[in-house]
Amino acid sequence: METPLEKALATLVYTFHKYSGKEGDKFTLSKMELKELVKKELALGEKMKDSGIDKLMGTLDKNNDDEIDFKEYTGFLSALCMTYNDFFQQDAK
């Protein structure tokens, strides 16, 4: 039986591929695909302007190939998790 943690990890993988397959290389996110993912899957993305997406793309795209591969995506998720954890820990104090 799949545990909550395994379901969560599977969701992270599924969400990447939900958008990465839309254009170009189906295993990487173009800027358009990243923008759509962020705007549809993250509350913080709803109000994000194109300049914010450009900045995010620049931060995540470590090898400067204008694509976000899965490893770069996990870096993004780790940063998001760290932010969530900071809120969690402040609440717990």
- For a second copy, the binding residues (CB under 8 A) are 2-17, 26-27, 40-43, 70-71, 74-75, 77-78, 80-82, 84-85, 88-89, 92
Which of 1, 51 has the CB closer to a second copy?
Answer: 1
Minimum distance from CB of 49 to a second copy (Å)?
A: 20
Distance of alpha carbon 50 from alpha carbon 28, whole angstroms: 19
Q: 48 is written with which tokens?
A: 């994000």
How far apart, in Å, are the Cα atoms of 55 and each of 18, 77, 84, 86? 22, 16, 20, 22
The Cβ of residue 50 has, within 10 Å, a number of other Cβ atoms equal to 9
Which of 32, 42 has the CB closer to a second copy?
Answer: 42
Which of 28, 30 has the CB closer to a second copy?
Answer: 28
Which residues, listed in sequence order, are joined to residue 29 by a DSSP beta bridge? 68
Minimum distance from CB of 87 to a second copy (Å)?
A: 9
Distance of alpha carbon 67 from alpha carbon 44, whole angstroms: 21
Minimum distance from CB of 2 to a second copy (Å)?
A: 8
